[in-house]
Structure 1
């Protein structure tokens, strides 16, 4: 026996049109009514025809999740993307939506993929998982008025873009403050990217903490080329650095290995603090001291804000700031 909308409406004691509005998550229906109708749907085993619903709404019922160019093994293996995609998927399911991934090894190919998804109406909107000053994708979305939300902080049009982010400048400051509180004075900031907004914000936070403590602000250490790894030992000797703030966990693990290769023990000779609190933080000893950025909440709110935009609940740009938390482990030594 096939259960219909009329059957659900009759048992719930509401009009058929009310059930249809509940299925479409219409704002005119109260939460109490939605809860009651959903309960009846579950009891009766009624499954909405999503395809028909979306056809009527001229909607695909899907959102595109755009990853940055995966042009290195470190980026391909970064657990941040898997964790945030899982969170986005969970939130999408709550709204009877699906997700489609857009990825490539270059910005040029990535833009082509996004353009194709948009023009063929495969998705209703997009979630960008990065903010890069060299990115043509965000320009395309903005110029063509394609609904999207951004995980990160945009370089331009901050007042017109919906974005969800941590306060990365504050993250950089808190990480550096923690090293200073533990007696470190010569502190490096190490990164493997210099064109993503997260780098600028976290490095600004490092600079602020060092200046407020009247300590020497060192240029950021860019480790994007093979020769940078060769020069790292000499850099440690010249700066007499006892600690470093590293751009993220996966790269922090690489820096710990590099320091140990040159005879520096972590944390006895060289302390390290990082960001993301990913699975890598507790894979090997010493366990990594890291700042938890609540990846799940970033993904959930990114999806939620996009859905609000699609439902025209957000007319202008909005910024959501997700709190962070320091997770103290074994890679920071107190010099006091």
Structure 2
């Protein structure tokens, strides 16, 4: 079995240099770093992760908790977190809480036992008490401000403003907003604040429909959307709090004989893959998901390196105009 000493001798460097390359510590020239990596690959040397964690007091892993791993938003976020972590030679442990607080407690304890370098929390139901005395950097994405050391959000309020302003400019006279999950307080609720203010500004008739926890957990909104459109037949604009709801709004309109965008115009939120897979393609608010993922990983590594994590970061959103609206 190859050893650290074997790598050093073959690469013509010291054991200390090889150790610094493996642990990404101190300055190492790119030429030396690549030479060490080439030798490690050539002789089949695998660093001892347990030994490395003992020396650093943590493993090169980041724990991530999401409420629904199948949701397109969280799937895209996880993909970008994994890419950002891998670029720094870190791995990712993913836990799917299914919004069960008991699951979240269990996962936090598991992360603690496994000495993760940091935790990225994307679930809003975990209690702040679970993080007391952990001594692990905690980054939250789209969660309550009180959780964690660093809170990363998109500008949800401005997203609501942009979406509703666009529907107003497209000539909509009666708009419904399918908003956040009932009985859950989340940063995404600020989208509704922006929606409400713009409707008031333009004197637009409007309705706010909260989604149920049951619908959110299985991503099935179709019947609720159809019922709303039947209850308020004059609705000509929909602002959906996710692209999943927006996509099902297209289905609901089709089932009721309403044309999109001729009869009903729709704006979603997130700009995940589904936005360009439906017909017509969704006009939506783009969250900077890649940037949010990168910031989360950077914040953890900065804290581990002795730096200071920002308490809160709010990133701008943008309107992506596609086929479900027709601006005049």
Same fold (TM over 0.5): yes
* Counterpart for residue 85 of structure 2: 92
Check if 1:149 corresponds to 2:139.
yes
Cα deviation, residue 144, structure 1 = 3.9
The answer on whether the counterparts of 1:175 and 1:273 sit within 8 Å (CA) in structure 2 is: yes
The answer on whether the counterparts of 1:166 and 1:324 sit within 8 Å (CA) in structure 2 is: yes
The answer on whether the counterparts of 1:5 and 1:20 sit within 8 Å (CA) in structure 2 is: no
Q: Which runs of 4+ in 1 moved over 6 A?
A: none
The answer on whether the counterparts of 1:154 and 1:161 sit within 8 Å (CA) in structure 2 is: no
Deviations 1:229-285 (A, max 9, x none): 564134322xx3211110011111112222322232211111000111112112231
Name the SS of the counterpart of 1:329 in structure 2: coil
Cα RMSD, aligned residues only: 2.9
Deviations 1:56-88 (A, max 9, x none): 2222222211011x4xxxxx5322222211111
The answer on whether the counterparts of 2:65 and 2:97 sit within 8 Å (CA) in structure 1 is: no
The answer on whether the counterparts of 1:291 and 1:326 sit within 8 Å (CA) in structure 2 is: yes
* Counterpart for residue 271 of structure 1: 265
- Alignment partners' CA distance in 2, 1:230 and 1:275: 19
Residues 214/268 of structure 1: CA separation in 2 closer, same or farther (3 Å cut)? closer
2:177 to 189, 210, 226: 189
- Alignment partners' CA distance in 1, 2:271 and 2:4: 47
Cα deviation, residue 192, structure 1 = 5.4
The answer on whether the counterparts of 1:12 and 1:40 sit within 8 Å (CA) in structure 2 is: no
**Mind listing any 5+ residue stretches in structure 1 that lack a counterpart?**
71-75
* Counterpart for residue 73 of structure 1: none
* Counterpart for residue 60 of structure 1: 59
Deviations 1:36-59 (A, max 9, x none): 332222343455614132222222
- Alignment partners' CA distance in 1, 2:31 and 2:137: 31
**TM-score, structure 2 normalization:** 0.83
Residues 43/79 of structure 1: CA separation in 2 closer, same or farther (3 Å cut)? same
**Mind listing any 5+ residue stretches in structure 2 that lack a counterpart?**
216-220
* Structure in which a larger fraction of residues adopt strand: 2
Name the SS of the counterpart of 1:209 in structure 2: helix
Between Structure 1 and Structure 2, how many residues are aligned?
Answer: 315
Cα deviation, residue 11, structure 1 = 5.4
Residues 303/172 of structure 1: CA separation in 2 closer, same or farther (3 Å cut)? same
